Amino acid sequence: MSLTTIPIVDLSEFLAGGEKKQKFVHELGKAFEETGFVSVRNHGVPQELIDAYYNAVKQFFALPSEVKKKYEIPALAGQRGYTSFGKETAKGYDAPDLKEFWQMGQIVEGEELSKADYPDNIAVAEVAEFNELGEKLFKSFEASARELLCAIGIHLGIGEFYFDQHIHNGNSILRAIHYPPITQEPKSAVRAEQHEDINLITLLVGASAEGLQLLNMQNEWLDITAPEGCLVVNVGDMLQRLTNNKLRSTTHRVVNPPREKWHTSRFSIPFFTHPRSEMRLDCLPGCVSENNPLKYAPISAGEYLNERLIEIGLKK
């Protein structure tokens, strides 16, 4: 297995303006077109907040199963609260991923939105500050994602603030994942089967153990490495669809650790940046040409999300 250090960009350069800003836009756009993944330093998400939420997440997943299952509400299709081990499957696969997870969604501000699209977040009583820390981390991730999408807007020639109206009170998700220790010979070599993310972009803080891999253009699986303190950011299918494959939603997976580490857990906290449900994902005219003909039919973000939740088994 090969190691790859994905391209590294510095968000402080974008915020500095001028030539540094243009350099950042060029580097981010190039990485998303060629790799679909990038490491971001100086991303603006406080490390002490990340550490505090990680600690709270570990306490939650250490609770007895009967306590955690109080927070599992099937009608919410995994979009809020707890989803128990083995419920989610990757698109096109039958075997469930070896994980349990917690999800919280948008804290809607300044308007009334449908509870069908924006159900209330679920409060955990047993872990001090779990809910408060989650809300703070959600908003911090959201602010960082906005800056990255501003850079993508410039790169695509659609305007720096194109995405702002679409992600304000967007249907984003903060997910905390626990891959438990492996206690018997697994049926598969992977904890999370190969997949592409559904959303616009995903922001991931460094997972607690190795295992994340991407599939490169040569059809090779590469272990992803990123410098300490960086966010790993990747393109999701919604952004790939919007750009008619100009930006790449790269296939990735989480593999099992070597046998000597089977007794260890793996924790991961991704932030899935979603737009509002009414956003159109119809391919941008500037991304359609004779050399890159139209690849997707028109669809809204809400319609597309619903399709994908059914495909991965979270919604009937």
- Domains detected in the chain: 2-311 (2.60.120.330)
What does the alpha-carbon distance between residue 14 and residue 20 come to, in Å, rounded to a whole number? Answer: 6
Tell which residue, 94, 312, 97, has the closest CA to residue 193: 97
Closest C-alpha among 195, 174, 183 to residue 254: 195
pLDDT category of residue 1 using cuts at 50, 70 and 90 = very low
User: Which tens digits make up the pLDDT trace of 39-68?
Assistant: 999 999 999 999 999 999 999 999 999 999
Tell me 33's DSSP state.
H
- The CA-to-CA distance between both ends of the chain, in Å, stands at 37
Separation CA 196–CA 170 (nearest Å):
20
Average pLDDT of the chain is 89
Residue with tokens 């836009």: 25
- Which of the pair, 212 or 4, is modelled with greater confidence? 212
CA distance 227 to 211: 15
Say if CB 128 and CB 57 are below 8 A apart. no
- Residue 311 near residue 256 (C-beta atoms within 8 A): no
The number of residues making up the chain comes to 316
> Is residue 256's pLDDT more than 80?
no
Give me the pLDDT at residue 308, please: 86
The answer to whether the beta carbons of residues 272 and 199 sit under 8 Å apart is yes
pLDDT of residue 191: 61
Q: What is the rounded (10 degree) CA torsion for 115, 302, 312, 176? A: -60
**CB-facing half-sphere around the CA of 256: CA atoms within 13 A:** 18
How many whole angstroms separate alpha carbon 143 and alpha carbon 117?
21
Q: What per-residue confidence (pLDDT) applies to 77?
A: 81
Is residue 12 a contact partner of residue 40, using CB atoms and an 8 Å limit? Answer: no
* Beta pairing, strands 8-10 & 37-41: parallel
Per-residue model confidence (pLDDT) at position 297? 96
Whole-model pTM? 0.91
According to the model, what pLDDT value does residue 123 have? 95
Strands 201-205 and 190-195, by their bridges, are: unpaired
Ranges of beta strands (E only) in the chain are 2-5, 8-10, 37-41, 81-83, 100-105, 173-179, 190-195, 201-205, 212-215, 221-225, 231-235, 252-255, 266-273
What pLDDT, in 10s, does the model give residues 189-223?
566 678 899 999 999 986 645 778 888 888 888 88
